[in-house]
Structure 1
């Protein structure tokens, strides 16, 4: 482990070797350990330490949480947040783990079939979007939902929908239908992902 910085300094002129050593101590990583003998989680942690201590302006992480235990995940997330808060650095993280990205990201790009299909600024979208759980007296989908919402889950008469531009007019129309249940739920990145795929399944989930 103590030899790795020698290689990194060949590429990253601003590599911070002292910080690298300090982080090894902080996370109780033995500097005499062989990298290839580390567990998958520990290798991921070392990789992130190397990325941070490279002092690169932009850091790209590919599936940084894949296969890691919860403690290592929390360590990595904390380090990324601290790095963004303390310095002028940008992170681009590719991941299928939407729950982990939810607490890290201020902007999310959704790729499908190698194409960019959505660009979410999370602070903005959460000001206008709502996730609702609804129950109506029958199984008919109201026109207001067909026009303005995206269905992400259905169980019997229980509908869970995302409305990306929720307005007072839409709220008034829904309440005028006298639903048995109208409840707002927390909106997550996974909900936005499911909602974006709604056109693939659509309202075929309900007959």
Structure 2
């Protein structure tokens, strides 16, 4: 089957698929060009998608993709609204990622302040940190590590892919205040530690 790359229906389909909100004919036309017969393309697409799992619908003067009405029940889930991590939680997660396994006392030593139990709880509820056994030292403190979900969420194949200070600076992700904290969180020996830990995994 030969596909015409200039087919307006394909262009309209792509625009609607990528749109974050329903679009008017004029909004679609602004993307695909004034010469395209957008209305005819929408009618054709609506016919092609009829009866499928997703469909193109018109509500008022706007068009969009939606799940077929008879399948909506499949997508209903009780979802918790994602919580934004506090600065303390972000710093704690960075310390765990770069220094794992790490104890609460070690996290506090690196951050320079105490962390509340709630900070670690938030990271564990998110599935990004977990207890990893006890250190064989007096008091046998609990240690924490990151999880496979942490790697998945942040698009890392392994801890070896964690960015270094130079990477973060080059990406423009560190202002002068963040740079000092990042240097503490990552530490001078972290890249070697991460590499060694990855080899042992």
For the pair shown, the structure with the greater C-alpha radius of gyration is 2
TM-score (norm 1): 0.25
**Comparing both structures, which one devotes a greater share of its residues to helix?**
2
TM-score (norm 2): 0.26
**Comparing both structures, which one devotes a greater share of its residues to strand?**
1
